[in-house]
Structure 1
Amino acid sequence: MNTTISEAKSHPVVSSEHWLSERKTLLAREKELMRLHDQVATERRALPWERVEKDYVFDTAEGRRTLSDLFDGRRQLLVQHFMFGPGWEQGCPSCSFMADHTDGMNVHLAQRDITVIAISRAPLADIERFRQRMGWQFRWVSSHGSDFNHDFNVSFTPEQLAKGEVYYNYGIRPFPAEEAPGVSVFYKDDAGQVFHTYSTYGRGVEVMMGAYNMMDLTPKGRDERDVPHKMEWVRHHDRYTSGQGPAAASCCATRT
């Protein structure tokens, strides 16, 4: 990883008084950031909504279900756009890193009127095989044969990829794969109407990566190489071994 022994030895070491003074200065900056975070969250909730007019249908373990059905009796639906395309042997390692956080959060989110679900274009049988391997309990459905992924700009056709650029993260940009990560939020009103309220892509998907927040507290931080793809170290949680090198299979471009 990046931080070498010599860098660690060269780090400033000061008295307790000096350390406390520096820590209080940083605390003021942290509180400033928290207030900005709260302000942006308020602005996010104030965004206008768009009505979902298309009748999306998904393959689920319970049979064919509409987007409205996926709310599971709650008003709010949080979707992880999980990179797992038709014909893939397994899901994206970086999206799997995100999903590793879901089961622990689910019981708490349900208490706040939120249903969480993962959606991928892979056939349901492939999704179920991989989900069981990973030991996940959260619901994961297939949009195979649906326009859902394309409409929410997380799947790209061969024709789009051939142009060298696709529409992703609210702009035209190069993208190296047919699938992309994202998180979308929907709301269902008393009349059963479904609204799209928010989507985030690129580094926005770090909202699901609680482990990153913990890493950010440590001296070495995320300890990622200075390359375009910062998540090359990530493996599926059942594929970590000691002393491993960069992970060639990691595929989420979360720095976009």
Structure 2
Amino acid sequence: MTKPAVVSREDWLVARKRHLEHEKELTRMRDRLNEERRNLPWVKVEKAYVFDTPDGPKGLADFFDGRSQLIVHHFMFHPDWEAGCKSCSFDADHVEPTLVHLENHDVSYVRVSRAPLDKIEAYRKRMGWRARWVSSFGSDFNYDYHVSFTPEELAKSKVLYNYRLDHGYDELPGVSVFFKDDDGIVYHTYSSYARGNEEVMTTYMYLDITPKGRNEIEIMDWIRRHDEYPAT
């Protein structure tokens, strides 16, 4: 880390006010982007996906719980793995405290992974999470929303991820949003991938205002599951 210039309080204030204008510009741009996102067209969900849950088989519409909006976290957890992805776990840690607020603002939330339900439940218990988490194993859900890929797709070395051809992996992260109208019809309204969900990870937002920032060589290279950090 290269230390910036050390100046008087007066000179610091001049630089800080200049930077504040850029921060305000970003805030206004974010507001415009959010409005544009809300005005994106919708796609009717025609396929009847079935998920394995602790309460038996459920469909996508069942996860709304009487609300009109649903956020799905595509959590990377391959059926052969013994634990969920550490980066997706980092994401999940940030969501847990927000659930009560989402649920009281017409938004439900569910995690979906291809791992079998017994592995999901064991890992959820280990992490101490309460959010609903279901298995999509045996359904096309992960493949249709481009977060899991078939052996045939992987053999081509490039898969359709984040709306472009990218390097192929068995599992990749994402978030999808759905709306259910009064007639029970479900629509897909939005999906984001890669770094698209980064702003909900408030640890990153705090790191971004510190002198060393994220201080990482590869994205998320320092992150551990919350029970794997060295004891302090």
Counterpart-to-counterpart distance in 1, 2:101 and 2:73 = 17
| Structure 1 position 174, deviation (Å) | 1.1
Runs of 4+ in 1 over 3 A off after TM superposition: none
Q: What is the match of residue 246 of structure 1?
A: none
Structure 2 equivalent of residue 133 of structure 1: 126
Q: Do the aligned residues in 2 keep the contact of 1:154 with 1:179 (CA within 8 Å)?
A: yes
Question: In the alignment, is residue 235 of structure 1 matched against residue 227 of structure 2?
Answer: no
- The two structures, once aligned, show a CA RMSD in angstroms of 1.2
- 1:178-227: CA deviations, max 9, x gaps? 000000000000000000000000110213311111110100110011xx
Map 1:79-228 → 2, pairs under 5 A:
79-175=72-168, 177-225=169-217
Indicate if the aligned counterparts of 2:96 and 2:129 stay in contact, CA closer than 8 A.
Answer: yes
Q: How many residues align?
A: 232
Distance 2:174 2:80 in 1: 20
SS in 2 for 1:12: coil
* Unaligned stretches of 5+ residues in structure 1: 244-256
Deviates more, 1:199-208 or 1:12-21: 199-208
Equivalent position SS for 2:72:
strand
How far apart, in 2, do the equivalents of 1:53 and 1:211 lie? 37
Measure the CA separation in 2 of the matches of 1:66 and 1:50: 17
Alpha-carbon shift at residue 170 of structure 1 (Å): 0.3
Superposition deviation, residue 38 in structure 1: 0.1
* Contact map agreement 2:199 2:205 (CA 8 A) in 1: no
Q: TM-score, normalised by structure 2?
A: 0.97
Distance 2:164 2:27 in 1: 28
Residue by residue over 1:95-117, the C-alpha shift from the partner in whole angstroms, topping out at 9 and shown as x without a partner, is 00000011101011112100011
Find the aligned partners of 1:144 and 1:104 in 2 and give their Cα distance.
28
Distance 2:5 2:200 in 1: 33
- Share of identical aligned residues, percent? 56
Contact conserved, 1:181 with 1:205, CA < 8 A, in 2? no
Q: Distance in 2 between matches of 1:139 and 1:210?
A: 21
Q: Which amino acid aligns with 1:196?
A: H
Counterpart secondary structure, 1:83:
coil
TM-score (norm 1): 0.88
Q: Secondary structure at the match of 2:48?
A: coil
Secondary structure, in 3 states, of the residue corresponding to 1:100? helix
| 1:32 alignment partner in structure 2 | 25
Residue 85 of structure 1, CA deviation: 1.0
Report the CA distance between 1:53 and its aligned residue: 0.2
